[in-house]
Structure 1
Amino acid sequence: MSPTVDTATTRVLEVTGLTVEFPGVRALDGVDLDVQAGEVHALIGENGAGKSTLLKVLGGVHSPSAGTVLLHGKAYAPRRPSDALAHGIAVIYQEFTLFPALTVAENVYAGREPHSRWSRGIRYGEMRAGCRELFNILGVDIDPDAQVADLSVSEQQLVEIAKALGTNGRVIVMDEPTAALSNEEVERLLDVVRRLRDEGRSVVYVSHRLEEVFAVADRATVLRDGRLVRTLDIADTDEDELVRLMVGRDVGAVFHREAVAEGKVALRLVGVSAGRLLRDVDLDVRAGEIVGIGGVAGAGQAELTQAVFGALPLRAGHMELDGRRYAPATPADALAAGVGFLHEDRKRAGILPDLSIRQNLTVTVLERLRHGLARLLSRRAEERTYAEYAGRLRVRATGPEQLISELSGGNQQKVLLGRALAPGGRVLVLNEPTRGVDIGAKAEIHALVNELTAAGAAVLMVSSDLPELLGASDRIVVLSRGRVVGVLEGEDRTEENVIACATTGRRIGVAA
């Protein structure tokens, strides 16, 4: 915890009565916020509470309808992101802002490339050296010459963080910076946040992971439905109080899993190898069961789910669906067979940002919504589908025609989950189903998944969130380097055993 400071002399950022309105929506309603020098200030609330909107005002993306912002005691009204950078505010957004076709170094230095004094050519060697220094601070090894499109999601997140740190801004704004990181990467980032605070810089930190808030934050401001609820010292509160302030009600166990009566095997993998990593995987998922897939980042989770969804061809082995041979050549084949899929990367491989919520939700069931001899899409059927899943998932939106890009990250995730459910199949493949989703929405999503399994659905779930993996799964299959190294059931389903299997290939107390 940083020492007590005099807010009258060290206040860096002061937001007063901030209001932001979009057509039909008041995203922020008279919000106040102050951030001190050398402080980590957490901004928390459910999805749709207004957190991202506030950050985009600070970053020069949105302009407020009313209210004022002072930076170092002077009026601050950025019209574009470059204005924010010029004033020393660096923002790490929840959705990546990288250029996939450019290199890591070109992304980190985008807009501030060092030039030769005489030729005005870009000094690429200096950019590479600067990248290595930033990644050394973050404790990771990423090639500055690698193309961003070839990086994993977690590596792209680290590039975003390095890009912000490289600006040397006095105010660093982080919107869900750890959502795509492994536990080890999270710990290293939190150390970096503490170091920034010790240097006298201010950090506005947004995270749905309350354990991170308590690990690094000095104060927290809670938003709900676009309004300020309270600002309080972290030392004077606990997780239960923050949850009550966030959601306005007590939330019980987020990952509450009832005992289920398992049915027949719905999905079976026999000796499956796929891609360059996945090797010789045997796996059964029964009707009514949630099988969690654990392991360190890059252990083969993505390859496994892509193989099941027909996005990655098998090199060996075979799959069965309800006892019959299942060999999808494309994701369309998988959808036709009734396999729903939720991708881990919401922005790059999930939402269609220029389309409406209705169009995003129904894209997997278009054939079912056609009618007549001309096979034209039925708008009425589309709207019925939207109403069903938007209602079940409590999507906060102005209506079916709102652009999905206008929703908060968590509400986008709910729409994508609805898309995965819409085909109505008996097998669901869920990659990071609650990534970037607040605690109330997590409870809602898992309650819905529990309803689906009670009705006979089989769920294969990948999660890097250990409490979610342990609390929501009936069995946990742990991968390491593309192989199954452990299957944990009953009392063996512990955090220690998941980590031990992922890192050593064996459970705690079991000889190699």
Structure 2
Amino acid sequence: MANSGRRALLEVEGLTVEFPGVRALDNVHFDVAAGEVHALVGENGAGKSTLLKVLGGLHRPSAGAIRLGGNAYRPRRPSDAMHAGIAVIYQEFNLYPDLSVAENVFSGREPFHRFSRGIRYAEINSRAAALFATLGVSIDPAAAVNSLTVSEQQLVEIAKALSVNGRIIVMDEPTAALSADEVARLLDVVRRLRAEGRSVIYVSHRLDEVFAVADRVTVLRDGKHVRTSPLAGTSTDELVRLMVGRDIASMFHRDDVADGDVVLELDRVSAGRQLREVSMTVRAGEIVGIGGVAGAGQPELSQVIFGAVPLKSGQMRLGGNAYRPKGPADAMKAGVGFLHEDRKTAGILPDLTVRHNLTISVLDKVRGALGRLLSPSAELDIFSTYRARLAIRTTGPDQLIGQLSGGNQQKVLFGRALAPGARLLILNEPTRGVDIGAKVEIHHLINEITADGAGVIMISSDLPELLGISDRVYVFASGQIVGHLTGDDRTEENVMLCATTGRKIFSEAAS
């Protein structure tokens, strides 16, 4: 662990950043020692991303000073940060999808042949492979980035940052799209960096990761510095109170809701590359959790129900009637809402307003009398309804959704899924990348949705969440259901046993 008496490598004093009408950072100060893992935590909108963008040369401070190695540090562009030895891995990917993995890792720093001036591909492929080996993963350096999964793209971003060989590695939610095994490998890499004498600024909403690797933690709230302290002797509850400014009695709370009629029934359904002969039911008023390791068939399950992947064989019934949607539009008309796991690239439309993001799923309801133009009053009615119902914090209907915090963006996407009148809601990783306070609000919202009579399918890689608010859990492995857990059988150990070994556990009450 870092020695608290060690000399600071990075010092931030009185940092203030103002945008028109907003003070994103207000007199923030903290320091990072050489060979230290320093966690930076706070709710969405606390100022973490703004601080990272100042360090990375994307934003300039309005006031305050930064020193790196005792010298003034005033980056004006990202290349200044890179040359100073600060490598930033942002939450939003910054990759060139049509270029190879190795070209992305060494973008702007490619070695060239002396005479032909062509890129030395054998060299960058070899160096990229060595970086992935340190991460404990096997990714083809010559593969195009757009052929990779989300988790593999995240690992490319991490390899790119490591390739700079910087003194300070800044990681903004680096594990949001990683599986449990990949998270463990990444945390091992963080520990190795510390052992080499490098510093890591680690930003994560996953407090178990923070406690696993960090030496000290700095808490931000509403753009202000709350506290910097060693992790040793700090409890999770205390850290949560500092982050949100209030007590959260229970992270995961499931209201008692009476089960209703069967909303969805799958009978030996096969679809996509993996889903094979899956049979399951969802009742009105219940939350059915879906667990398993990444890529075990969960994407195909959600997509075939939503009409995004065609049904190969088997039967689906919705509300007792045969159900075979030709596409998502059919599914929404039938009352099926959908929340994608990747909010940034497949969820929000960042250049559109909050109201347009909300109403894009119900354009038929907001068309004017002539049927061609949208009715602003109808849009505002829908915006007002879901802003109040979901407690969306926004300056108004015409604020760009990209300016909202992650939790509020997620609420807008909930509203989009509910607006067509969903009686079945499919939630993929509903709290991924949102802060603790927003998680509690989203869980409360899911409880309200089921209290209103809708059925919910919740796919989550967060086991405490999956078990904490689901009524029962189906566990997938290799495209099949290998577990159906209810009551006391709903444990992390049973989920992992089914998911990783294929051992079948079917609760007596569920059979």
Q: Name the TM tier (shorter chain).
A: over 0.9
The equivalent of 1:497 in structure 2 is 494
Provide the C-alpha distance between the structure 2 equivalents of 1:483 and 1:345, rounded to a whole number of angstroms. Answer: 23
The equivalent of 1:434 in structure 2 is 431
SS at match of 2:338: strand
The equivalent of 1:277 in structure 2 is 274
1:237-275 Cα deviation digits (max 9, x unpaired): 110100000111100212101232111111111111111
Q: Contact 2:28 / 2:224 at 8 angstroms: preserved in 1?
A: yes
Greater alpha carbon shift after TM alignment, 15-24 vs 235-244: 15-24
The equivalent of 1:291 in structure 2 is 288
Find out whether 1:143 has 2:114 as its counterpart: no
Find out whether 1:224 has 2:221 as its counterpart: yes
Find out whether 1:107 has 2:104 as its counterpart: yes
Shift of 1:236: 2.6
Shift of 1:416: 1.7
- One-letter amino acid matched to 2:422: G
Q: Contact 2:221 / 2:243 at 8 angstroms: preserved in 1?
A: yes
Q: Contact 1:496 / 1:508 at 8 angstroms: preserved in 2?
A: no
Superposition RMSD on alpha carbons, in Å? 1.6
Provide the C-alpha distance between the structure 2 equivalents of 1:387 and 1:233, rounded to a whole number of angstroms. Answer: 44
Find out whether 1:354 has 2:358 as its counterpart: no
Shift of 1:318: 2.3
Q: Contact 1:46 / 1:246 at 8 angstroms: preserved in 2?
A: yes
Provide the C-alpha distance between the structure 2 equivalents of 1:257 and 1:477, rounded to a whole number of angstroms. Answer: 17
Provide the C-alpha distance between the structure 2 equivalents of 1:40 and 1:74, rounded to a whole number of angstroms. Answer: 21
Provide the C-alpha distance between the structure 2 equivalents of 1:479 and 1:24, rounded to a whole number of angstroms. Answer: 48
Shift of 1:5: 4.4
Pick closer, same or farther for the CA change 1:258–1:504 going to 2, 3 Å.
same
1:68-116 Cα deviation digits (max 9, x unpaired): 2211122222222222111111111111111222221121111111211
Which of 362, 380, 385 aligns to 1:365? It is: 362
Which of 116, 120, 127 aligns to 1:119? It is: 116
SS at match of 2:232: helix
The equivalent of 1:326 in structure 2 is 323
1:409-466 Cα deviation digits (max 9, x unpaired): 3332222222222222111010000001111110100101001101111001110001
- Runs in 1 of length 4+ with deviation above 4 angstroms? 507-510
Q: Contact 1:94 / 1:175 at 8 angstroms: preserved in 2?
A: yes
Greater alpha carbon shift after TM alignment, 253-262 vs 377-386: 377-386
Find out whether 1:388 has 2:376 as its counterpart: no
Which of 174, 178, 182 aligns to 1:181? It is: 178
Shift of 1:23: 2.4
Using the size of structure 1 for normalisation, the TM-score is: 0.96
SS at match of 1:94: coil
Q: Contact 1:48 / 1:396 at 8 angstroms: preserved in 2?
A: no
Q: Contact 1:139 / 1:188 at 8 angstroms: preserved in 2?
A: yes
Shift of 1:156: 1.3
Greater alpha carbon shift after TM alignment, 351-360 vs 406-415: 406-415
Which of 259, 262, 272 aligns to 2:259? It is: 262
Provide the C-alpha distance between the structure 2 equivalents of 1:42 and 1:414, rounded to a whole number of angstroms. Answer: 27
Find out whether 1:51 has 2:35 as its counterpart: no
The equivalent of 1:464 in structure 2 is 461
Find out whether 1:169 has 2:182 as its counterpart: no
Provide the C-alpha distance between the structure 1 equivalents of 2:410 and 2:92, rounded to a whole number of angstroms. Answer: 12
Provide the C-alpha distance between the structure 1 equivalents of 2:504 and 2:276, rounded to a whole number of angstroms. Answer: 21
Provide the C-alpha distance between the structure 1 equivalents of 2:397 and 2:336, rounded to a whole number of angstroms. Answer: 25
Unmatched runs of 5 consecutive residues or more in structure 1: none
Q: Give matches, 1:478-497, under 5 Å.
A: 478-497=475-494
- One-letter amino acid matched to 2:42: G
The equivalent of 2:5 in structure 1 is 6
SS at match of 2:356: helix
- One-letter amino acid matched to 1:110: S
- One-letter amino acid matched to 1:236: G
Which of 157, 162, 167 aligns to 1:160? It is: 157
SS at match of 2:27: strand
1:301-338 Cα deviation digits (max 9, x unpaired): 11111111111111111211111111111111111111
Shift of 1:215: 0.7
The equivalent of 2:411 in structure 1 is 414
- One-letter amino acid matched to 1:280: E
Q: Contact 2:272 / 2:309 at 8 angstroms: preserved in 1?
A: yes
Greater alpha carbon shift after TM alignment, 438-447 vs 395-404: 395-404
Provide the C-alpha distance between the structure 2 equivalents of 1:219 and 1:270, rounded to a whole number of angstroms. Answer: 52
The equivalent of 2:82 in structure 1 is 85
Provide the C-alpha distance between the structure 2 equivalents of 1:278 and 1:111, rounded to a whole number of angstroms. Answer: 42
Provide the C-alpha distance between the structure 2 equivalents of 1:351 and 1:70, rounded to a whole number of angstroms. Answer: 37
The equivalent of 1:242 in structure 2 is 239
Shift of 1:175: 0.6
SS at match of 1:304: helix
Greater alpha carbon shift after TM alignment, 206-215 vs 405-414: 405-414
Q: Contact 1:24 / 1:398 at 8 angstroms: preserved in 2?
A: no
Provide the C-alpha distance between the structure 2 equivalents of 1:267 and 1:45, rounded to a whole number of angstroms. Answer: 39
Q: Contact 1:48 / 1:411 at 8 angstroms: preserved in 2?
A: no
1:11-38 Cα deviation digits (max 9, x unpaired): 1111111112222222111111211111
Provide the C-alpha distance between the structure 1 equivalents of 2:4 and 2:222, rounded to a whole number of angstroms. Answer: 30
The equivalent of 1:307 in structure 2 is 304
Q: Contact 2:483 / 2:506 at 8 angstroms: preserved in 1?
A: no
Unmatched runs of 5 consecutive residues or more in structure 2: none
Which of 176, 181, 198 aligns to 1:201? It is: 198
Provide the C-alpha distance between the structure 2 equivalents of 1:467 and 1:46, rounded to a whole number of angstroms. Answer: 19
- One-letter amino acid matched to 1:137: T
Provide the C-alpha distance between the structure 1 equivalents of 2:23 and 2:377, rounded to a whole number of angstroms. Answer: 28
Shift of 1:393: 3.1
The equivalent of 2:450 in structure 1 is 453
